Amino acid sequence: MRYDTIIIGGGLSGLTAGITLAKAGQKVCIVSAGQSSLHFHSGSFDLLGYDADGEVVTHPLQAIADLKAEHPYSKIGISNIEHLASQAKTLLSEAGISVMGNYEQNHYRVTPLGTLKPAWLTTEGYAMIDGPERLPWKKVELLNIQGFMDFPTQFIAENLRMMGVECQIKTFTTDKLSTARQSPTEMRATNIAKVLANKDALSKVSERINAISGDPDALLLPAVLGFSNAESLDEMKQWIKKPVQYIATLPPSVSGVRTTILLKRLFAQAGGTLLVGDSATTGQFSGNHLVSITTDHLPDEKLYADHFILASGSFMSHGIRSNYAGVYEPVFKLDVDAAKKRDDWSVTNAFETQPYMEFGVHTDKDFHATKDGKNIENLYAIGSVLSGHNSIKHADGTGVSLLTALYVAKKITGKG
């Protein structure tokens, strides 16, 4: 089988690149192993939330200019960032993911613990805040489903109170939700979202909420609505008398699952091929050219393409692996940027900068991967598999995924 481009990895960066290339008329195949880091999504996308000193970034573009040369944004070049950032927002909205915010100025999202973190784009309907001193509410009600433990209301309430918001906690349930609770492992955000995908079940929820809510500036709900599209969020907006805003829950992330589904749908509409539940096992090289790959499900078949993109994620997604002896890229054995000695991979305090977070595939300035020191001319790496950035310390993970994907797609179509 031959494609113009084969992408390894069906997470945010792989799908973004796939959509862009397919829309440009390419024959694209994505090999996707399964869940991606979008399952831990906050409902917001970040460009750059903190600078090298850990200070909150208000104007991302300025702070990006100060990043070190190895950072993927530095390779993209500051002059390209603005354009790619607008393109990313357009692509999301085309997929049906409505987001608010802009690249010129960060806003804040509310974390599942009720603290604030800087963000670039936030899913419509989610709580979005200008700043810690500029909260949009004086008085809120925090509503939770009875028995849903992945929404720590006590923490959220306390943190909001510390920011001067009067916050009352209320819980509710419906027959459907009570039934779901019979199995103690059923009370997870995505499972609840599936139960509430049913319109009747959802209208019962809105009735309960209307019955118990008082007169706050806003009702804050766990983000457990909209498994495969945003319809239920729109319906709730109509049915509930008070303004409703959502706060992300502990994983699995409903907005992340929805984002994945919507991006996959757009990719399919653009004519792309998605190999689900399959993973690339090895590649066949000719000199500094990658000719084809073999996958787990099609061991006797080779998948050929002119271009290849590695978008396989970091350690947690197995795009980068480690063992007793070292850190490696498992499919092609590409060169990686990583400390040699195991003791240098991490530090004792979990909350300090962990060196391993920056380990990843080594690339040149155009994101070509290298193998045994040689550039592979038609193999690119994008997203979390890249070395040189730390999504925890900089809050730049989703931004790097989106922007490197768009940048490489442009390179491939010759428009970059």
Tell me, residue by residue from 254 to 293, as one string, x for binding to another protein by CB under 8 A and - for no binding. Answer: ----------------------------------------
Site residues for another protein, 79-118, by CB under 8 A, read: 111-113, 115-117
Looking at 228, 294, 346, 413, which residue binds another protein (CB under 8 A)? Answer: 346
What is the nearest approach in angstroms of another protein to the Cβ of residue 105? 19
- The answer to the question of residue 40 lying near another protein (CB under 8 A) is yes
For another protein, give the closer residue by CB, 16 or 44: 44
What is the nearest approach in angstroms of another protein to the Cβ of residue 291? 30
Give the type of residue at 43. Answer: G
- The answer to the question of residue 315 lying near another protein (CB under 8 A) is yes
Rounded CA-CA distance 305/17 in Å is: 15
What is the nearest approach in angstroms of another protein to the Cβ of residue 324? 6
CB neighbourhood size of 317 (10 A) = 19
Looking at 175, 200, 349, 415, which residue binds another protein (CB under 8 A)? Answer: 349
- The answer to the question of residue 251 lying near another protein (CB under 8 A) is yes
- In whole angstroms, how far apart are CA 117 and each of 33, 58, 156, 159, 187? 30, 11, 13, 13, 26
Specify the stretch interacting with another protein by CB under 8 A; choose among 9-17, 25-33, 231-239, 352-360.
352-360
Residues 6+ apart with CB under 8 A from 307: 4, 5, 6, 378, 379, 380, 412
For another protein, give the closer residue by CB, 170 or 318: 318
What is the nearest approach in angstroms of another protein to the Cβ of residue 20? 25
Looking at 20, 37, 363, 401, which residue binds another protein (CB under 8 A)? Answer: 37
Site residues for another protein, 194-233, by CB under 8 A, read: none
What is the nearest approach in angstroms of another protein to the Cβ of residue 108? 10
Beta carbons of 256 and 221 less than 8 angstroms apart: no
Binding site for another protein (CB under 8 A): 37, 40-42, 50, 111-113, 115-117, 146-147, 149-150, 152-155, 157-158, 178, 181-182, 184-185, 187, 248, 250-251, 253, 314-316, 318, 321-324, 342-343, 345-346, 348-351, 354, 356-357, 391-392, 395, 397
